[in-house]
Structures are given as C-alpha cells and as structure tokens.
A and B are shown apart, each in its own frame.
Chain A
Amino acid sequence: MSAAGTELTLRHPIERFTLDNGLRVVLAPDRSVPVVAVSVYYDVGMRNEPEGRTGFAHLFEHMMFQGSANVAKMEHARLVQAAGGTFNGSTHQDYTNYFEALPTEALERALFLEADRMAAPAITEENLRNQIDVVKEEIRVNVLNRPYGAFPWLQLPQIAFESFANTHDGYGSFVDLESSTVDDATDFFHRYYAPGNAVLCIGGDLDVAETEALVRRWFGPVPARDVPPLPPTGEPSPTSVRSAVVEDRLATAPALALGWRVPDPVGDFDTYLGTVLLAEVLSEGDASRLERRLIHGDRTAIAQSSYVGMFGDPFDVRDATLLTTQVHHPAGVPAERVTAAVHEEIDRIAQDGVDADELRRVQARIEAQLLQQADSILGRTLSFAAAELVHGRAELAGELAARLAAVTPGTVQAAARGLDPGTVAMLELRPAGGAR
C-alpha cells in the first residue's frame, strides 16, 4: 500500500445514512477550502432504456433542468450560478447524475434545488419539444457533423454485445426522440427517479450534523415510491471474432477499434483491477507497450489509446464492459497489420508477463492521476457517489490507489490472457471523405 493512497483514505472520512423514503446519503467532509459539492446519482442509464425509446435516459436528463414545482424554467441555472456555483448533469451507461460545485454558503440552496426536482420536475409539452430540438443539436455537434463522431462508443458495442441494453444507440435515433411524449417522460420519472433509486453525495466544506439536518429537511418530504429491480446487463462471454466495417463520410484517414470482454467490474473486482492496469501498461505514455510498438517502432499508427469502460472510467460501470484499443493509422497502412501487432504485444504480456519495475512505474502514474482527480472537491465527490451507487461502497473511491498498488504482475499477465484474439470485436472505420 502506498503512502499517498493511505493518506487519501484517512483524509476523507465517509458518513452515511438512509432516509425513510429510501434515499441513500453519503457525506464526505473536508473543510480545507470553502467549496462544497452536491451530487445526485439516479440508478438509471442508457442501458435501462426500453426498446423504441433509444436516447430517452439522456433526453430525460435534459428535462430535469427545465424547472420543478417551486423553480421556474432557467431558474435552476440562475440560482446556482448567481450563488457563484457551477452545475451540470450527464448520462452514463448505468446511471444519470446531477451535480453542483458551490461556495459553502450556497449548500442549502443546492439541496433545495435537487430535492425540488426529485419530487416534481416540470415535464411539459413545451419543455419536451424544446429539449428534443436541443438534444438533436447536441447529436449533430458530437456525432453527425464531425468525423469519427460515433467512433467507437456508439458503433463498437453493436458488434461486441448481443442484448438490446448493450448494443443500442444511447444518444438515440431521431425517430425515437421525436416520437417521445409527455406521458413517456412522466412514466420514466415515476419508474426510475424514486428516492430509493438514488444516491445523494455531498463533499467538501460541510458540518456533518448540520448537513444531515438540512438533508432530512429538504429530501425527507419526497414521497417514497417502488424501486425498480436492477436489470441484469451482463451477458455470456463471446466465443468468436466479430467484425464490422463502417464508412465515415467526413473522415479522411482510417481508424480501428478492438474490444475484448473483461471480468465483471463489480463482482470480480480484484481480477478486473488487473485489466485496468493492463490498459495502462499497453497505452499510457511513451513508455507503454503499444506506443513503443505502433508509434515509435513500426510507425504504423498516428495515435493509440486503450481504456476500460465505454466512456473511459473503469470504476463507474457494471458488467458487461470492454477493454478497447483504439488506433488511428495512415491510409497506407492496412488495418490487418495494426491488428496483428496489437495481438502480438498482448500475447507477449500473456506469455512473458510484465516486469515488476514496469508495473511499479505504471502504478505510480495511476496513483498520481487518481490524486489529481481527488484534488478537486467536485471530482472527488463524483467518485464517491459513483462508488456508492455501482459498488455499494463510497470508500472504495478513496482506496483505489492502494488497491491498484497491491496488484501483482501475475494478475496483469492473467488479464492479458483474457484478451483472446479469438474473441475480439473488431471495428474498422474507413474514410469516405473524398476531399483529400
């Protein structure tokens, strides 16, 4: 266990309690700067959307900013920002979160705002039509009007997985978005936004007793509702190679994404940590295996990266998920050549393992990155909230550096053996942008 990992765990004690309506509350006090972060995580993400309603979790996230019983449209933003705070929300595979970072004196205001929309968001026809338009613009900016827009996060799951939950487009089809109704949104809210289906996590400059009283005051009156069962998103491991080619009419250079199923991020956590470190050994920095091989050795690639979890955070996802290796390469280099080199490098680790020194360096680097994330009160609060929701233990976020530091070379080698070339999902992006 490294010194810094221990220190981080000790510095940020966790308090928790549950309200009668089922809301789980986590407090992570740290009074070093007069900043407080408030986050609410609802246990519903892109993977929970019903068929015919692709993109609905994300669309509904937008609806949560349209006002609520005691807050007019635009007022949510004004009340946070005019207090000197910032806010946002985001939709992930397994959850949707809402958060604010504010000066200490605005804590109660933020609690009021989150409680008010947990009780009664303003789901109206006008707001819904407006936000469908806004979401369509978001999809145009991030996907349709740019090269590599859906690559690989919307395209790779289609071949890597089998179930609707894991394969569908979480941004949503325009057809599904446009046909969404107020009734759909109301039903979705009643089903998934029950207090018992959420975690409230508050971090930073707070007094535990005072904050608990404020939480009870504002969230206590939100009526309890049934909590939906957690749908299983795991699926059987693949037994064959799956591959696909997509054409990108805006791209002028090819790209490649290889995805392998990895151990259950929650149920098989210790094994999974080996996979997380393997991704770093493969791709983090100039000393990494694939940077040395593809970029500096073979010179067959322009850029490479490997990560675990479709959105790049290995610790906020449930089963099933992937280790993805993504490579941009020149048009003159055939995709097969890149793929073969990636498999070879992984096989080298599977056969020979990693050197203890190499692993120690990678562990030091990831420790620094985790500390950097924890330096921001908001970043730390979000990590605690995600760990509480996904792993059932906020404390885990503070222990990650130490847990990763304890992983042995043997565990990383075993993880490499799991990246079988015979079960890879392989997505090839071919440029169809003819201007060059």
Chain B
Amino acid sequence: MTDVQTSLIPPLGEPRPQPVPVAEETTLPNGLRVVVVPRPGVPLIELRLRVPFAAASARNAGVHTARGAVLSGAVLLGSQQHDQTQIAQLLQTHGAELSVATDADRLLFATTLLPGGLGPVLDVLAELLTGAAYPADQVEGERDRLAERIAIARTQPGTIARSALAARRYGAHPYAIQLPDAELVSAVRAPALRRLHRERVLPAGSILVLVGDLDPRAATETVAAALDAWTGTGKAVEAPPVTEQRQGGIQVVDRPGAVQSNLRLGGSAPRRTDDDLPATRLAAMIYGGYFSSRLVENIRERKGYSYSPRSALEHQRASSSFLVDADVATEVTGPALLETLYELGRIALTPVTEAELDAARRYVLGSMALSTATHAGLASTMSALLGAGMPADWLRTHQQDLAAVTVEQVQAAAARHLAPEALTAVVVGDAARIATELAALAPVAVTGSGEGA
C-alpha cells in the first residue's frame, strides 16, 4: 500500500477503547456454573446453557449421535406439567423461543428473552431439565421427521464434502460423524432418550451464560431458585483425544453431472491454549480468511474460478483444525486446486509482508470487537470459550497475544500447519470430468456416495 501516503485516502483516527465486559461467576450447589455479564444495549437477555454431551467412546458414537439429535428436538415435546404447545406459549409470552442443538461436544439450549421474563423462562427450562416427558408417540414423530431432514441434508454438496473430509481425517473417532445416520435415528425410542437425559443432562460440568439487561446478583439468585432442583449423579463426558489420520493423495467423491467441484482441505491446528495459535490464526487469515486474502485475490478476483473461497480455524473440544473451502466450476477444478495448493506452499515457505500481517491483525481484532458487540454475539462467544475450558478473560489475553505476533512467527506457524503436505484433501464432483486432471497434482482415489447431480 505504498501509494496510500500520497493519495486522498483519509488516515485512521485514534482508536477509542473497547468496553471490557465483566463476567460474574458463581457455582451452584448442584455443580452448575452460572456466568452473568451485564451489558448496555437493547432491553433483552440472551441465555445459553451448555451441557457436555460427547460420545463416551468411538464404539457407541453412532448411536449416541443419533439419540442426541432426536433428544434435542424431543426434549421440547412436554414436561410433567405442560405439553409441547403450552411450553412454547409460556416461552413466547416473554419473547423467547428455545432452540436446542447438539454437536459432537455439547447440547446447547439457547434463547433470547425480554428482561421481565427471566424467572418464568428459567422455570420452563427447569421443568424440561428435571422432567422432560419424552411421550412415546410424539418421539416417534420427531425421529421420523429428523430422519427425513437428514436424508435431505445428505443431498447438499456442502454436507457431502464436509462429511467426507471429517471421515477421512478422523477415522474411528466420534468427530468423523458430521450428521447422524438416518437408520440409527429411525431406531431411537423414548425409553432410550429418558435414559440418555438422566445420564447426561447434568448440572455438574454444565455452564449457564446470561448476557444483557440484568443485574448479576439478582439474576444469579433467580437462576439458583429456578434450577436448584436440577440434580444428577452422573459424570460429564468430554470427547476422547484425537489422532489425526494424515492421508495422502486426493479423495474424489463422485457426484456424476455436478456443475461444480467442492474442494476441501483440512489438518490439525494449534489448540486455544497453544503458544502458536495467534500466529497460526493470522497466517490462516492472510491465506484465505477474509476478502483481502491471497486465496480470494488469486482464484476469485484474478481468475474468477470461485465465488467464496475461504480458510478458517475451527476449534472443537478435543481438536482444532485449519480448513480450506472452495466451490469451483467443474471445468477449472484442476487449475483451481493448483492455485489453492500454490498459495499454501507460498505462505509455508516465504515470509508474508509486514503490511499483510498488520492488516490481518487489525481485521481480527476489529471483527472480534464487532462480533462481541451484541448481547447474542457475546453470549455465544462466552459459552463456547468457557465450554472449551478457557477462562472468562481469554478474549483479552488472546488480543494481547495477537498484537505481539511477528512475521517470522507467522511463517513458522504456516510451515507447520498450512503446508500442503500437512493437509488431507477431498474433492466432491463429477469424477469422470475431474479425476484425470487432479491426478496431475496428487494420486487420486475415487469413491462413491456423492449421489447423482
């Protein structure tokens, strides 16, 4: 950006300090951690309850994932006191609608609510935590709908690609399962859900985050009063350690007739607690993490191969990943992967510029500030960080760490985590049209199950 000095472009003014949210934390007698963050803004409260929900072992992961997915819908089907409609109405009265979702690490209850509704909404939540009914007939309806939705999801090329990459990287580890198996879902029955709920929906190990228009002490007392009857004797289960399956070559998942190919690369990245996380995060940003990145300039703005190529770091409880995504026209699949790999090799072997590093750093800091500048953004961020075992002030220390990263550290991190040889590759597309040219870059193995396009 050498021309900036002489151009019209206005310089940046002095930054104003970001307000630092103060989290007040309490652990209730039943073991539940309660974290309350008062925040100015709109008169709303955001609620997140994170319950550890990993599969205990690879052996039961398929069944656990299927049951967990059904449970996340079926927990709302009624309690001892109210049926499904009444529960929805009680919540709606206070502007709330509870969403319940599972992934490989946790079960998450989330809603927004009007401030006057904190007590009543927590009462409904307590009813579900302590007495979800799982009525047999309605559970069957729920699981059948879920099986249909899974079948639909499996026809989306993005889902096919994500599932194939996870299976190739994680082998027998539960993280290999991106979507529950529809047949296992169809076999789920109410008694299994009641047992799963009893064994795994426990206060100990769970974290309740409240952000917004509230007083920490009063809010904590309201939580304690509402949720003191939630007890349980089981132990929270976190995901087992991961061994990355580093597989060479390119797996092509055949999707005959596809007009695009979905390129996906992935490998292990530093954990949130690792010293080289800040440098790796900035390397991933410079490579393909935002519009100003090398990958976007190359395969979108110069060559027009792809609409939204990107790279990102993703953290799970037991594993962190560096991921590259690009959906490209079938006829340019080979050249697009070549450029994607070239940019990986370039950042792994040659230093980035100071200007690239400064831009990426300011962007990361700025976008963290933006994403935590709403009740909902801050609540989701806090829930994820605390759930990963990070302290409440991790965001602040991470920002300081990002500020100190050097060009040399970025190159060292890129050499370790972004080198093409460190990554596992999957391409979903029309094998008859792309396999031969991809074989010019690396050995290709074609597999089925991409369905017809």
Contact = CB atoms under 8 A, between A and B. Distances in A.
Interface of A: 3-4, 7-8, 32-35, 70-75, 77-79, 81-87, 101-109, 111-112, 116, 129-138, 140-141, 144-147, 205, 249-253, 284-287, 292, 295-296, 299, 302-303, 328, 330, 360-362, 364-365, 367-369, 371-372, 374-378, 433-436
Contacts of A86: 366-367, 370
Contacts of A287: 85, 88-89, 92
A286 B87 contact: yes
Given A147-B155, A287-B85, A433-B452, A371 B43 contact: yes
A362 B93 CA distance: 8
A435 B451 contact: yes
B157 interface: yes
B148 interface: yes
Given A106-B12, A109-B9, A253-B148, A78 B292 contact: yes
A141 B307 contact: yes
Interface string B82-120: 001101110111111100000000000000111000000
B155 A252 contact: yes
Interface in B1-17: 1, 3, 7-17
Interface in B137-174: 138, 141, 144-145, 148-149, 151-152, 155-158
B41 A252 contact: no
B43 to A, nearest CB: 5
A74 B301 contact: yes
Contacts of A364: 92-95, 114
B394 interface: no
B368 to A, nearest CB: 9
B18 interface: yes
A82 B363 contact: yes
B369 A4 contact: no
A416 B1 CA distance: 59
Given A296-B141, A435-B451, A81 B291 contact: yes
B152 A328 contact: yes
Given A296-B138, A375-B376, 4 more contacts: A84-B366, A365-B92, A368-B113, A371-B44
Q: What 8 A-B pairs have minimum CB-CB distances, sorted nearest first?
A: A84-B366, A133-B304, A368-B95, A82-B359, A286-B88, A105-B13, A34-B16, A287-B88
A103 B92 CA distance: 35
Interface string B284-317: 0000001110000100111111111000000000
Nearest to A253: B152
B224 interface: no
10 contacts: A34-B18, A70-B9, A71-B9, A77-B292, A86-B370, A105-B12, A130-B302, A134-B306, A292-B85, A368-B112
A37 to B, nearest CB: 10
B308 to A, nearest CB: 7
A103 B15 contact: yes
B46 to A, nearest CB: 8
Contacts of A109: 9-12
A375 B41 contact: yes
B15 to A, nearest CB: 5
B1 A78 contact: yes
Contacts of A84: 362-363, 365-367, 369
Contact of A79 (B9, B40, B149, B297): B9
Contact of A145 (B84, B97, B258, B452): B258
B417 interface: no
- Range of interface residues on chain B? 35 or more
Contacts of B303: 130, 133
Nearest to B138: A296
Contact of A377 (B43, B290, B373): B373
B292 A74 contact: yes
B363 A302 contact: no
Given A74-B301, A141-B327, A112 B8 contact: yes
Contacts of A141: 260, 307-308, 327
Contacts of A33: 18-19, 373
A205 B373 CA distance: 13
A147, A369, A435 — most chain B CB neighbours (10 Å): A435
Given A84-B362, A145-B453, A361 B307 contact: no
B321 interface: no
Contacts of A82: 1, 292, 358-359, 362-363
Contacts of B301: 73-74, 130, 134
Contacts of A111: 10
Interface of B: 1, 3, 7-19, 40-44, 76, 84-85, 87-89, 91-97, 112-114, 138, 141, 144-145, 148-149, 151-152, 155-158, 258-260, 290-292, 297, 300-308, 327-329, 358-359, 362-363, 365-367, 369-370, 373-377, 451-453
A85 B366 contact: yes
A372 B112 contact: yes
B181 to A, nearest CB: 14
A102 B17 CA distance: 14
Nearest to B7: A70
Contacts of A102: 366
Contact of B259 (A74, A144, A284): A144
A287 B114 CA distance: 18
B157 A284 contact: no
B362 A299 contact: no
B362 A83 contact: yes
A299 B300 CA distance: 45
B84 to A, nearest CB: 6
A210 to B, nearest CB: 11
A15 to B, nearest CB: 21
Given A108-B10, A292-B85, A365-B97, A134 B300 contact: yes
Given A137-B328, A138-B307, A286-B85, A302 B148 contact: yes
Contacts of A292: 85
Contacts of A434: 452
A147 to B, nearest CB: 5
Given A104-B16, A147-B156, A433-B452, A285 B88 contact: yes
B84 A286 contact: yes
Contact of A105 (B15, B149, B155): B15
Contact of B260 (A34, A137, A378): A137
A8 B43 CA distance: 9
Contacts of B92: 285, 287, 361-362, 364-365
A375 B327 contact: no
A63 to B, nearest CB: 12
B314 to A, nearest CB: 19
A299 B11 CA distance: 60
Nearest to A297: B141
A371 B260 contact: no
Contacts of A103: 15-16, 366, 369
Contact of B16 (A79, A140, A205, A251): A205
B114 A35 contact: no
A253, A375, A376 — most chain B CB neighbours (10 Å): A375
